[in-house]
Amino acid sequence: MISYKDLGLVNSKDLFRNAMAGKYAIPAFNFNNMEQMQAIIQACVETKSPVILQVSSGARKYANQTLLRYMAQGAVEYAKELGFSVPVVLHLDHGDSFELCKSCIDFGFSSVMIDGSHFSYDENVALTRKVVEYAHAHDVTVEGELGVLAGVEDEVSAEHHTYTRPEEVEDFVNKTGVDSLAISIGTSHGANKFKPEQCSRNAEGVLVPPPLRFDILEEIERRIPGFAIVLHGASSVPQEYVATINKYGGALKDAVGIPEEQLRRAAASAVCKINIDSDGRLAMTAAVREVFANKPGEFDPRKYLGPARDSLKELYKHKIVNVLGSAGKA
Ligand code: G3H
Ligand code: 13P
Ligand code: ZN
């Protein structure tokens, strides 16, 4: 049993309390490798932002849970070395079983998500409650989920979303004891969040998605005032990355995300954590494709992963400063 406290990590409790009071959101960035971790920490140190490092089941399979945890531990020291100690949460993204959550808690994670959103309401309550009991005994924070996001959540994929039902949230929070709640108000995972037929087109022919259901968010806030809400599927799919990827041989069609002004509005509400993964994937892919296209003789991974890391860092700084509002809050 390893406590996250011995690793220099923190749970999300104080971060969410401050984010709620200050009307901003904590960035939750997924990481699978060293370059992503470096970009996240560099961006957070330069902007003095707290951060949640997220590990999905896919990341555990790809990189190995042990290596990722040591990397998160290293991230705390790396931040200090860069000149500013930022609060770092190590969070399990979309945990799908009690055993997985327990394994992460026992191994030094400071926060876990138990995603029971694909189960019946009662099964979701029972599973989430079980995780909360174990996690709280170790001072680890827990995120639950009500409502289903369209798109792929690790191995679970849903074609249609089911909006969170505000009438369930109070009961769910009281019965489970969760510290935060992920909700479904129209975001979804991946780079193709909406079908073209769901969107309109602006003057430049760019797809404009339907707005998020802020009415549902407001009703949830009314029912559980001051409670930390989490937004998954919050990438905005910057069209400049899509254009660069397609210019240099990619084939991303109809990629569309959540407009940043809607995320800014969410960050100023009870939304205290905003999850971004796909935008980072696009930034890295665009940078790598550009190097490969312009320098076909290049074969040193540092020469394409380096620019990818730089691009990722700029993306994260932009999100922190201009979208989430967490700069200077570390
Ligand atoms: O929720 C989905 C995250 O973007 C993680 O994706 O399961 O491919 O690592 P992944
Ligand atoms: P995106 O696919 O929109 O980046 O969402 C990531 C996410 O919700 C991770 O849990
Ligand atoms: Zn998610």
185 and 165 Cβ atoms separated by less than 8 Å: no
Question: What is the mean pLDDT of the segment spanning 173-182?
Answer: 98
Measured from the CB, is residue 277 less than 6 Å from ligand 1?
yes
Q: Residue 156: is its pLDDT beyond 70?
A: no
Question: What is the mean pLDDT of the segment spanning 148-158?
Answer: 61
58 alpha carbon, closest ligand: 1
Question: pLDDT tier at 155 (50, 70, 90 boundaries)?
Answer: very low
Q: How far is the CA of 22 from the centre of ligand 2 (A)?
A: 24
Which CATH code, of 3.30.1360.120, 3.20.20.70, 3.40.50.720, 3.30.43.10, is assigned to 4-324? 3.20.20.70
Q: How far apart are CA 236 and CA 294, in angstroms?
A: 27
Task: Find the Cα–Cα–Cα–Cα dihedral 256, 25, 144, 160, rounded to 10°.
Answer: -20
- Tell me the sheet residues that pair with 89: 52
Q: How far is the CA of 153 from the centre of ligand 1 (A)?
A: 6
Question: What is the mean pLDDT of the segment spanning 161-173?
Answer: 95
Pocket test for ligand 2, best of 89, 231, 232, 237 (most atoms within 8 A of CB): 232
Question: What is the mean pLDDT of the segment spanning 256-274?
Answer: 98
Domain ranges of the chain: 4-324
Residues 25-70 pLDDT 10s: 999 999 999 999 999 999 999 999 999 999 999 999 999 989 999 9
Q: How far is the CA of 53 from the centre of ligand 1 (A)?
A: 13
Q: How far apart are CA 179 and CA 220, in angstroms?
A: 15
Residues whose CB is less than 8 angstroms from the CB of residue 126 and which lie 6 or more positions away in sequence, other chains included:
none
